[in-house]
Amino acid sequence: MPEQAPQSPSIVVEDDRTGTSVTTLKQAILDNLYYIAAKMPENATDIDYFTAVACTVRDRMLAQWMTTLESYSREDLRVVCYLSAEFLMGPYLANNILNLGLTDSFRQAAKELGLDLDRIIEQESEPGLGNGGLGRLAACYLDSLATLGVRAIGYGIRYEFGMFHQQIRDGWQVEMTDYWLRYGNPWEIRRPQAAVDVGFAGHTEPYKDAQGNDRVRWVPRSVVRGIPYDTPIVGYHSGVVNDLRLWKSEATESFYFERFNSGDYQGAVAEKVFAENITKVLYPNDEEIEGKELRLQQQYFFTSCSLQDMVRFQHRFGCAMETFQSEWAIQLNDTHPSIGVAELMRLLLDDHGMGWDQAWSITTSTFSFTNHTLLPEALERWPLPLFASLLPRHLEIIYEINARFLQEVRERFPGDEARVARMSIIDENDQKYVRMAYLACVGSHKVNGVAELHTQLIKQELFHDFYEMWPEKFVNITNGVTPRRWLAVSNPEQSALMTSKIGDGWIGDLDELRRLEVLADDSAFRAQWRKVQYDGKVRLSNYILKDTGVTVDPASMFDAQVKRIHEYKRQHLNVLHILTLYHRLKNNPNLDIAPRTFLFGGKAAPGYVMAKLIIKFINAVGEVINNDPDVKHRLKVVFLPDYSVSFGQRVYPAADLSEQISTAGKEASGTGNMKFAMNGALTIGTLDGANIEIREAVGAEKFFLFGLTADQVQATLAAGYHPWDIYHSNDGLREVIDSVASGQFSHGDQELFRPLLDSLLQHDTYLLFADYQSYIDCQDQVAQAYLDQEKWSRASILNASRMGKFSSDRSITEYCEGIWNVAVKAGSAPKPLP
Ligand code: F58
């Protein structure tokens, strides 16, 4: 419907569905409210307005989206496929508006309609389709791929229930289901016409084809349908809209009806339940996932759907399968999609009749693999019987891959059978397993770690034998995060201040922030910077009061640790520091101590008993300290429930101090460390993951360093580590531990925290005691440094301005150049550091 009849030739009439003037946006929002949400303004709820605004934004993305989709076929470009079992996208609305360059217009349109855009933005329930860093990294990378103009598809699973919601009851974590689709999802398009079928279980049969060649046919017992749901991913001012294609599992009609018609009602229903279960729920696992059949089903399901989709595109492009590797670059985000190596081989061998050598060459040129962890419990392996029953044909193919690979190992290292056993994709010690990390490594042309130290450790330890065999295969690509979401959207005040000084070029090229460095010496700018930070703290304080009932003082130092709860991340070391300060205050109530607010947030895997006890520990300590009159509100401890992307967007801008205190060698990279630093927090941390590179970037004197190095950690453990001795020799530590053991933080209950204390005193696998004194001394330096606010602000400005390296645009450029061999759009690649 045209907005208005043209009055004079100079007036441009915009299409209601695509125009971007304020007048047109207003009309479009009202139209969508009427035609999509079926509501009049008088009775529309906030959610209705969210739907109307989101559809208005989506309409403005469609033209670019379809052009991008079409360009797959027209332009001779290699398409990057990012395969990930998790995409932790966070809410889309604000980000999409920003990337389209329509923030001011939408704000104005909302205002003129009497609406509050921020309130509308807050209505969006975020798709929590990931556990933590790995899933969020995939989301940041999609943003950068579209921004850099790289044709890319994110392939994953459309979980019906995402990451559980966390409530805190009596200090304990309680999990609630996350039905994020409750109010619908305006961003996605269901595309049943692009459905594919995926087989499971059954048996294989040898046969001879028409030419008399020996071939194998897989006869699956069950077939499940994969329906794609597409979400547009708009780049920042790039004109490119890529696709996030998530697969939902459904029963195939034919299978269902065949059973039904033959009277096997129970079988038909069971089949339907089997199919629909696959994409029902995200595994909230940080711990042992071994043997979870449904998880293997999920992995194979989405990987097979995605590969079949690429094959279909390949045919539609009119390209032969022989050139598959020139059209597609597939990144395996950890081992979860690594079954793809065997699946692509199966498609090429069985469906397309290709010979082994050619199929293998295509497969290894197509795949590359990112490792995200060295923790042994997180390395996936599947028990052979389970694997054989679910994917019999894939197991045969893996056996063949392994046989040929081990032959290569024997030729390269004659007589070294121990090495052959170590490197085998099939683990033959005791019970047999398929080692998925090895399959991914053998089937990829590049393997990367996610920070310098992590990559070094991969080469030395996890993949040492593979590194000796193929040193050129291993590369580092340090993680990065998108400055669009983590600065421009989440911290508009700091963004506006930065933009007022250096323009907004930093949003698309984070290295531009370097130009702020000179302002660190400008006292007026420092005062503005402090004001922005303080306002962020006021906003978070109000939220904390509303959410938890705890009053916190925005003038106190905000000391934050938000991330998954895990023993290696050492939230409990942070608590030992809090208790140390508390004891100092109890021993000397008039002690002059810098007021601090300790903020925690993060979920524990539901089955991870120790992590859940750590949450209880934090809350128990908070309960005592927050209510002790001797403390006089100088210390506050707050556990913020239900950590999520939108939660992070509130916390990062408000922190003064970022806690990155993992045992050195355990955190592959970390990405929260980058988000905090960009937002002006200083870091206290160990030499672990990307902390090392952050410290190099900001300058050692602006990073509070403590603790053992990764080498020292290994040496300490190898020498026979006795935490008990440290407990006995350190008075401060002993006082803290004894007070917990006495029941001081558990209403006299001496048993509650015993498992935690026993684990520290007897094993202390993550070396809290070894790092305790160093951490306390370092925290004392932090407290001292905070007293000099001018100096602190200067360091804070320099931290933020030196974060260019940690933009995901830099990471993606490195993937494009070093792994995928695709071009980033001219002019949009980040420039080298000045
Ligand atoms: C994280 N891994 C790393 N895994 O721990 C972190 O250091 C790194 O910065 C980040 O990846 C991105 O590279 C991680 O988040 C998971 O969430 C797994 C999901 C599947 C189940 C096991 C945990």
pLDDT tens track for 383-435: 999 999 999 999 999 999 999 999 999 999 999 999 999 999 999 998 999 99
Ligand 1 pocket residue status of 137, Cβ below 6 Å: yes
The larger pLDDT score, comparing residue 9 to residue 223, is at 223
Ligand 1 pocket residue status of 605, Cβ below 6 Å: no
| 575-600 b/e (C-beta count within 10 Å ≥ 16 → b) | bbbbbbbbeebeeeeeeeebbbbbbb
Among 82, 86, 88, 134, which is best to mutate for testing ligand 1, by the most ligand atoms less than 8 A from CB? 134
Ligand 1 pocket residue status of 690, Cβ below 6 Å: no
- Mean pLDDT across 109-117: 98
Compute the distance from residue 341 Cα to the ligand 1 centre, in Å: 21
Nearest-CA residue for ligand 1 atom 22 is 286
Compute the distance from residue 134 Cα to the ligand 1 centre, in Å: 4
Compute the distance from residue 280 Cα to the ligand 1 centre, in Å: 21
Cβ–Cβ under 8 Å, residues 673 and 689: yes
Ligand 1 pocket residue status of 48, Cβ below 6 Å: no
Distance (Å, rounded) from C-alpha 292 to C-alpha 40? 49
Ligand 1 pocket residue status of 299, Cβ below 6 Å: no
Tens digit of each residue's pLDDT (9 = 90 or more) over 514-555: 999 999 999 999 999 999 999 999 999 999 999 999 999 999
Among 373, 482, 608, which is best to mutate for testing ligand 1, by the most ligand atoms less than 8 A from CB? 373
Nearest-CA residue for ligand 1 atom 23 is 286
Closest by CA to 484, choosing from 656, 235, 241, 683, is 235
Q: What is the 3-state secondary structure (H, E, C) of 85-132?
A: CCECCCCCHHHHHHHHCCHHHHHHHHHHCCCCHHHHHCCCCCCCECCC
- Mean pLDDT across 77-98: 97
Catalytic (active-site) positions: 372, 563-564, 569, 671, 675
Tens digit of each residue's pLDDT (9 = 90 or more) over 578-603: 999 999 999 999 999 999 999 999 99
Ligand 1 atom closest to the Cα of residue 131 is: 17
Ligand 1 pocket residue status of 479, Cβ below 6 Å: yes
Q: Is pLDDT at 5 greater than 50 in this prediction?
A: no
Q: Is pLDDT at 831 greater than 70 in this prediction?
A: no
Compute the distance from residue 571 Cα to the ligand 1 centre, in Å: 17
Tokens of 407: 């032959």
Enumerate residues 6+ apart whose C-beta is below 8 A from 527.
none
Closest by CA to 366, choosing from 281, 433, 443, is 443
Nearest-CA residue for ligand 1 atom 9 is 670
Q: Is pLDDT at 151 greater than 70 in this prediction?
A: yes
Question: pLDDT value at position 516?
Answer: 98
Ligand 1 pocket residue status of 374, Cβ below 6 Å: no
Question: pLDDT value at position 834?
Answer: 29
Compute the distance from residue 169 Cα to the ligand 1 centre, in Å: 27
- Mean pLDDT across 680-700: 98
Ligand 1 atom closest to the Cα of residue 667 is: 7
Ligand 1 atom closest to the Cα of residue 668 is: 7
Ligand 1 atom closest to the Cα of residue 690 is: 9
Question: pLDDT value at position 256?
Answer: 65
Residue 320: what are its φ and ψ, rounded to 5°?
Answer: -75, 155
Distance (Å, rounded) from C-alpha 443 to C-alpha 401? 9
Q: Average per-residue pLDDT in the chain?
A: 95
Helix (H) or strand (E) holding 435: strand 433-435
Ligand 1 pocket residue status of 667, Cβ below 6 Å: yes
Compute the distance from residue 603 Cα to the ligand 1 centre, in Å: 13
Sign of torsion over alpha carbons 649, 653, 659, 664? positive
Distance (Å, rounded) from C-alpha 691 to C-alpha 684? 9
Q: pTM for the complete prediction?
A: 0.96
In terms of DSSP bridges, do strands 222-234 and 189-190 run parallel, antiparallel, or are they unpaired?
Answer: antiparallel
Helix (H) or strand (E) holding 247: strand 241-251
Enumerate residues 6+ apart whose C-beta is below 8 A from 33.
39, 40, 41, 44, 48, 49, 51, 52
Compute the distance from residue 670 Cα to the ligand 1 centre, in Å: 8
Distance (Å, rounded) from C-alpha 509 to C-alpha 512? 6
Question: pLDDT value at position 735?
Answer: 98
The larger pLDDT score, comparing residue 825 to residue 73, is at 825
Q: What is the DSSP letter of 226?
A: E
Tens digit of each residue's pLDDT (9 = 90 or more) over 660-675: 999 999 999 999 999 9
Q: Is pLDDT at 444 greater than 90 in this prediction?
A: yes
**Quick one: how many helices (H) and strands (E) in the chain?**
33, 23
